Chain A
Amino acid sequence: MCGAPGQAVALPAGTDLEKQTVLAGRVVAEGSPVGGAFVRLLDGTGEFTAEVVSSASGDFRFFAAPGTWTVRALSRSGNGEAVLTADGPGLHQTQVAVA
């Protein structure tokens, strides 16, 4: 586990964090959450892996594998990205600031 502790992340029933690697986070602009942002997960070589839309509270999550990932967000408030390293299964969290 890494990232901000205590941040509530709703995971689907049956998600086993002993086995699954979950990358989750929030898109923010000047500290405020950005809903409706297009959040893409890029692998260690910059290759597109998946894309989701952030919730009204700016939250997003991906089911991935251990490794180094880039999370890139596109939104009406601007674009931004963050790098996230998952050293093993569990919940890994980050924040993506867009400007």
Chain B
Amino acid sequence: MSREDVLVTTDWAEKNLGAEGVVFVEVDEDTTAYDGGHIPGAVKFSWTTELTDPVRRDVLSKEDFSAILSAKGISNDDTVVLYGGNNNWFAAYAYWEFKLYGHENVKLIDGGRKKWELDGRTLTTEVADRPAASYTAKDADLSIRAFRDEVVASIGVKNLVDVRSPDEYSGKIFAPAHLPQEVSQRRGHVKGAINVPWSKAANEDGTFKSDEELTALYSDAGLDGGKAVIAYCRIGERSSHTWFVLRELLGHSDVKNYDGSWVEYGSLVGVPIELGAGN
């Protein structure tokens, strides 16, 4: 696995628009950006309504994942190129979910929508119309997904990486500064978790930092390269971004995304929580 296998530049993306077997997919929580203009040919995915279960708090079931990809005209052998706003958070979540269900060829556009826009590249309001396909998801690969009991059992055993902002980690605030909702019962972080904000892995234009910078970032933060890693944030999208960095870019073999994240953990009864100094 190398960076070129999982990440493409905006330049590559532009040169491959319309290429046979390549499907561009814009993913976001708020899809109004897609409606206002998107990469030509890109298919729209709403993270909220099309990548998460409509009833339970969960990813899609295998059957629902197969159905939505079929409806969007995506086949098992297509190369799926994901991008989105919010520095690719939800695109990274989609990447993780595609991998969870065993999709072979999936890549992220480095820098996502922001880099594409700052580059001044073409956006269109024309909605992509792809004929339906027949997609069959594989069984979920739980080697990349952590659940709450495993997180509790991993305290002091595995690397727990809290990728939220320092103020969320310390318990000064409940949620990122642009979101007033989705509040957990308690503030703070999983006992023993290190704090490496997702943002430290990205440049301000949204592209990922170099492998050398990323390696130094996690080793300086105290991540033990010889141990397994569980990344979490608030709802599992920022931690997908870090999961992507650790597993797909840096090649750590055992990295899980805890998509339940703080909204779940911070509402559990009796689990170990720590607060930062002064909180």
Contact = CB atoms under 8 A, between A and B. Distances in A.
Interface of A: 12, 15, 20, 23, 36, 38, 40-41, 43, 45, 47-53, 61-65, 72, 74-76
A43 B178 contact: no
Interface of B: 33, 85-87, 114, 117-118, 120, 165-167, 172-173, 175-180, 197, 199-200, 204-205
Contacts, number: 60
B166 A47 contact: yes
B199 A48 contact: yes
Contact of B177 (A36, A64, A72, A76): A64
A76 B165 contact: no
A64 B197 CA distance: 17
A63 B92 CA distance: 24
Contacts of A48: 165, 197, 199-200
Contacts of A36: 117
A50 B165 CA distance: 8
B199 to A, nearest CB: 4
A52 B32 CA distance: 13
Contacts of B87: 51
Nearest to B173: A65
A53 B33 contact: yes
A21 B162 CA distance: 24
A63 B172 contact: no
Contacts of B166: 43, 45, 47
Nearest to B204: A74
A52 B178 contact: yes
Given A47-B165, A74-B205, A63 B177 contact: yes
A63 B178 contact: yes
A40 B177 contact: no
A61 B180 CA distance: 11
B176 A49 contact: yes
Given A48-B197, A48-B199, A65 B167 contact: yes
Contacts of B86: 51
A38 B114 contact: yes
Given A47-B197, A75-B118, 8 more contacts: A43-B167, A49-B165, A49-B176, A50-B177, A53-B33, A63-B180, A74-B114, A76-B118
